[in-house]
Structure 1
Amino acid sequence: MRHEETAGDARLRHVYWIGGGSGAGKSTIARQLADRHGLRVYATDDVMPDHAGRSSAEDSPRLSEFMAMDMDERWVNRSPQVMLETFHWYRGESFGLIVQDLLRLPAEPGVIAEGFRLLPRLVMPLLTAPLHAVWLLPTPGFRRAVFDSRGGSSWAFLGQTSDPEGALRNLLERDRMFTERLREETARLDLHVIEVDTATTPDDLTLQVAQAFGL
């Protein structure tokens, strides 16, 4: 793990980045850290509708393709592998809009950016301090426990398909493969990861991320 300063983008040296797999607890941890350390939270999930509206078909072709699909085409008829390879946010589409948003925020008191859209290969060139970024990698068991604890409310949109159970299996498998891809990419780039399993409590995870950031 590298500790030295890197070139990065000095305009973003006040940003702490929390990426990772879906359902890993990124939003919860970001809010807890922000409350404890007086930081601002920038949630990339919250700005997805805005970014979709600001993206052109030329800049985000996979987003345009996704928006043109019906619910079965999105979640039932395609394999998890195809879903993984063609999902626009997983391909980094509109990541530049995240950077634009962050540059518009004041540097004080500091920002925690969080969300699955923070792909290691895209965040890495921006880092002036590699320890300002961490990726949370949930196990499949943890991911399923999150689904069960929420009562499926976060996946209610799958009820709009002709096969909600099949759509859920596809979604969970796609997200499992995405997490494995993050694991490979962070290892290749020598970036910090934290494994999240069913024994991990939110307080434990918050402490681990705070320690990783040096807060």
Structure 2
Amino acid sequence: MNEESDVDDADIIWIGGPAAAGKTTVSRLLAAKYGFHCYSVDAHAFDHEKRAAAAGLHTLGTGPGDFDRRPMIIEDIQALPVRTTVVEGAFVTPAMAGVGRNSVWLMPSEEEQVARLERRNPGGDHEGCVWGWGLVRGQLEGTGACVIVVDGQTVEETLMAVEERFCAILG
């Protein structure tokens, strides 16, 4: 159990990675298949910013911030009716999730990410997402985190790889 709550770390499956890695799609499919809740850290980013600002940890309007989101995520999960939760997002870091058996990062190569972003938004400005790819890659270096390289994989193949990673948790 985690000291900050009554949410057991085994009740959380953490899935991180940069934009267009397949985190949200795979997390939703995994949650639906096993009856878990899916929690998007990215979707709660502004709420987390406001909560951090109210606690004096962040100044609104200065970007996403580098405050610790984990206590807010745990608090949110405690309020859910379904205990086991798949927590996903680009803001999921090894420092937040740990690198144990309940965390994984989906990583495309930079070229694959750009191709996926272009399919998602043809002609769009992808510079920030590519910068985020480098940030996530840097966060993973030297951590021993489990990384699934998603280049050339279908959604089904990525889901199978994630299920294999979490087979002990999924039963």
Q: Given that residues 17 and 105 in structure 2 are in contact (C-alpha distance below 8 angstroms), is that contact kept between their aligned partners in structure 1? A: yes
Whether 2:155 is the aligned partner of 1:202: answer yes
Q: Distance in 2 between matches of 1:209 and 1:24?
A: 13
Aligned length: 164
CA RMSD of aligned residues (A): 2.4
Deviations 1:130-152 (A, max 9, x none): 21111111211121112111124
Alignment map for 1:147-186 (pairs within 5 Å): 147-152=117-122, 168-169=126-127, 171-184=128-141
Aligned equivalent of 2:48 = 51
Higher helix share: 1
| CA distance in 1: counterparts of 2:58 and 2:20, whole angstroms | 25
2:7 paired residue number: 11
Q: TM-score, normalised by structure 1?
A: 0.67
Which residue of structure 1 aligns with residue 94 of structure 2? 120
How far off its partner does 1:107 sit?
5.0
Do residues 101 (structure 1) and 76 (structure 2) align?
yes
Q: 1:39 aligns with which of 26, 36, 41?
A: 36
Separation (CA, whole Å) in 2 of partners of 1:92 and 1:22: 20
Percent identity between the two aligned chains:
25
Which ranges of structure 2 fall in alignment gaps of 5 or more residues? none
Question: Structure 1, residues 144-196: CA drift from partner, whole Å, max 9, x if none?
Answer: 1121111249x6xxxxxxxxx5xx43x14412311321330xx42x2211112
Whether the 8 Å contact between 1:92 and 1:117 is mirrored in structure 2 is no
1:18 and 1:133 in contact (8 A); partners too: yes
Q: Does 1:146 align with 2:103?
A: no
The equivalent position to 2:26 in structure 1, one of 10, 26, 29, is 29
Alpha-carbon distance between aligned partners in 1 of 2:24 and 2:96, rounded to the nearest angstrom: 20
Gaps of 5+ in 1: 1-6, 67-86, 156-164
Q: Which runs of 4+ in 1 moved over 6 A?
A: none
Counterpart selection for 2:106 from 129, 133, 136: 136
Which residue identity lines up with residue 7 of structure 2 in the other structure?
Answer: R
